[in-house]
Amino acid sequence: MTKLAFIGAGNMNGAILSGLVNKGFNPQNIIVANPSAPKREALSEQYGVLHTSSNIEAVAFADYVILGVKPHLIAQVCQEIATETAIENKCFVSVAAGCTIEQIQQALNGQYPVIRVMPNTPSQLGYGVSGLYASIDVSENQKQQTAEFMKSVGIIKWLNTEAEIDHIIAVSGSAPAYFFLFMEAMQNKAIALGFTEQESRELVQQTALGAAQMVINNDLPISQLRKNVTSKGGTTQAALTTLIDGGLEQLVTNAMDSALHRAKEMAENSN
């Protein structure tokens, strides 16, 4: 059976791990390495996976190594791995924003197979979006296996260039937080209107879920769906006019550009 090592026990690795286990991946074929005992022990207790404080032990155990540490730690972790254990025939899957394949291979001191993956946190529920880009050293079997891992937590898209990883970050990697902020603002206003905090949350979350399902279950352009629920001179039109006049569309564009710019900065700073 294929074995996986998760280096790091942060939010993204935790999301992928939970999605895999929830889809039936054998937790005894997964090991989590993290210097913080509480984090890795929490994942082990919740999902039944193995855990260790040693990156070396984890890498020795696995066929695929998921690098989920902070970008500024990637080089250090990869150098440690390359120095202390045999890494031939292993495939490295990086979910770290801003670290290029070239940088990872340099730290590993060799042209080892590296796949960059940019998932998002809804992966823990099976509703993730992941962009993937593979180095030329990755075999077709390794590409297929990695694709299957990520399909278990949502939809995937193979990218034509590594630069498109930054685009995925702006469009879907960071995007759940965009929606959370919008929902938070709606909830706060609902509370101000007299609903309880719980009532406000239920109203907002169900509305967001319903809107998403209308997009999923309809082939019409999103713009047309918006028009279909906007009666001329009605309440929805009044609200949308305020949002548009307030510059919402440009604000969203600016926010996504900021995410893209920051991703590029992180890559430059990790050189």
One digit per residue, the tens of pLDDT, for the chain of length 271 reads 899 999 999 888 998 898 899 889 999 999 999 998 999 999 999 999 999 999 999 999 999 999 999 888 999 999 999 988 889 889 999 998 888 999 999 999 999 999 999 999 898 888 999 999 999 999 999 999 999 999 988 999 999 999 999 999 999 999 999 999 999 999 999 999 999 999 999 999 999 999 999 999 999 999 999 999 999 999 999 999 999 999 999 999 999 999 999 988 877 776 6
For residues 46 and 220, give the distance between their C-alpha atoms in angstroms, rounded to a whole number.
41
User: Domain segments of the chain: what residues?
Assistant: 4-160, 174-267
Q: What is the CATH number of domain 174-267?
A: 1.10.3730.10
Residue 244 annotated as binding site = no
Give domain 4-160's CATH number out of 3.40.190.10, 3.40.50.2300, 3.40.50.720, 2.130.10.10.
3.40.50.720
Which pair of structure tokens corresponds to residue 16? 């992928």
pLDDT of amino acid 257: 96
Residue 55 annotated as binding site = yes
Residue 68 annotated as binding site = no
- Please provide residue 214's backbone torsions phi and psi, each rounded to the nearest 5 degrees: -65, -35
For the chain, the residue count is 271
Residue 128 annotated as binding site = no
Q: Which residues contact 1 (CB under 8 A, 6 or more apart)?
A: 26, 29
Residue 7 annotated as binding site = yes
Which pair of structure tokens corresponds to residue 66? 């998921």
Residue 110 annotated as binding site = no
Residue 9 annotated as binding site = yes
- Please provide residue 224's backbone torsions phi and psi, each rounded to the nearest 5 degrees: -75, -40
